[in-house]
């Protein structure tokens, strides 16, 4: 009897697994058509200065509006795109669109965009970026590429070479999600990063976990000694903000200062800012 019950469970699990696999295959097929079908768009989340809370720029984040499923979150479809060889193409689309948006905004507004480890292995990435910058007449220092430590899992020396060539274009390189994953300070000693982004989960837990404060303090010190700046992600409350500012973070990002916005809403924010500056000047 127990054996029968066990078999029932096994059957149930395998049916569920089968459904999951079918679902994934469907998503993969849909993903292959999604660029041509124009189902992607970028949203832009504000980054503000910790000093005066003024808008510095945005992080561009991809959104997939699936015709049946609605919005599919990036943590669901990015790994699929990476595994089925679509990340190059998707990444190229992101670079083009993020730089197009940057071109439409005045200096010193900057735009950060995320780069997958799968794109870093491509030696032609720096060329692709420099051509997009030239096409839109945007200076390299107006964009920033965000990479995670995952980029060092493969051929570290090739990654380093690609990152250095990107830096040579004036492009900023930020180490994203710092404080999670394999965070090794070994990577920092390579003189390619100009910024550390402290992961949002870490920032939000700081209130309830005092040990996080000590870690954030040492991250800020580390950044200073390597002449990097620090962004705190995931700042949702005034307390989060004050804590991160007082700990020495330079830039703040999170729902407190704005959710990821449509291009139009981000543009209104930029226009509002320049109107203010004209009044002040």
Could you tell me the smallest distance in angstroms from the CB atom of residue 150 to Mg ion? 11
Residues 92-111 that bind ligand C2E (CB under 6 A): 94
Kindly state whether residue 149 participates in binding Mg ion, applying the rule CB under 5 A. Answer: no
Tokens representing residue 74 in the block: 């990036």
In three-state form (DSSP H/G/I as H, E/B as E, the rest C), the secondary structure along 58-122 is EEEEEEEEECCCEEECHHHHHHHHHHCCCHHHHHHHHHHHHHHHHHHCCCCCEEEEECCHHHHCC
By the rule CB under 6 A, 251 interacts with ligand C2E: no
Instruction: Answer for the pair 66, 29: CB distance below 8 angstroms, yes or no.
Output: no
- Among residues 110, 89, 91, the alpha carbon closest in space to that of 44 is found at 110
Pick what 159 binds: Mg ion, ligand C2E, none; C-beta below 5 to 8 Å, kind-dependent. none
Q: Does 258 bind ligand C2E (CB under 6 A)?
A: no
Comparing CA positions, the residue from 113, 94, 93, 102 lying closest to residue 138 is 102
| 149 near ligand C2E, rule: CB under 6 A | no
Place of tokens 């979150």: 73
Q: Per rule CB under 5 A, is residue 114 in the interface with Mg ion?
A: yes
The answer to whether residue 236 forms part of the interface with ligand C2E (CB under 6 A) is yes
Pairing relationship of beta strands 110-114 and 40-49 according to DSSP bridges: unpaired
Judged by CB under 6 A, the chain residues 119 through 138 that form the site for ligand C2E are none
Q: Is 177 in the site for Mg ion (CB under 5 A)?
A: yes
Q: Which of residues 197-216 bind ligand C2E (CB under 6 A)?
A: 200
143 contributes a contact to ligand C2E by CB under 6 A: no
Q: Cβ 111 to Mg ion, closest distance in Å?
A: 12
H or E element that contains 48: strand 40-49
Interface residues with ligand C2E (CB under 6 A)?
Answer: 45, 61-62, 73-75, 78, 94, 114-116, 146, 176-177, 200, 233-236, 253-255, 260
């Amino acid at each position: 009897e127990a054996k029968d019950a066990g078999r029932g469970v096994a059957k149930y699990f395998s049916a569920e697994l089968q459904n999951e696999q079918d679902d994934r295959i469907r998503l993969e097929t849909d993903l292959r058509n999604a660029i041509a079908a124009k189902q992607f768009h970028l949203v832009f989340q504000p980054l503000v200065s910790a000093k005066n809370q003024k808008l510095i720029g945005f992080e561009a984040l991809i959104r997939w509006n699936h015709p049946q499923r609605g919005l599919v979150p990036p943590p669901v479809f990015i790994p699929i795109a990476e595994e089925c060889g679509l990340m190059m193409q998707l990444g190229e689309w992101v670079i083009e669109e993020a730089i197009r948006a940057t071109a439409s905004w005045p200096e010193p507004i900057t735009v950060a965009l995320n780069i997958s480890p799968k794109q870093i292995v491509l030696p032609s990435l720096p060329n692709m970026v420099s051509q997009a910058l030239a096409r839109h007449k945007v200076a390299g220092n107006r964009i920033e590429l965000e990479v995670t430590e995952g980029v060092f899992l493969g051929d570290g020396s090739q990654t380093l070479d690609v990152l250095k060539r990107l830096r040579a274009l004036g492009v900023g390189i930020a180490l994203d999600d710092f404080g999670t994953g394999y965070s090794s300070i070994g990577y920092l000693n390579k003189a390619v990063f100009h910024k550390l982004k402290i992961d949002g989960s870490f920032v939000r837990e700081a209130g309830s976990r005092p040990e996080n404060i000590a870690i954030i303090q040492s991250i800020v010190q580390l950044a200073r000694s390597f002449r990097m700046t620090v962004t705190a992600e995931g700042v949702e409350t005034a307390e989060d903000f004050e804590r991160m500012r007082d700990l020495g973070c330079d830039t703040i990002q999170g729902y407190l200062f704005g959710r990821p916005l449509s291009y139009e809403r981000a543009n209104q924010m930029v226009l509002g800012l320049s109107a203010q500056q004209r009044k002040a000047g």
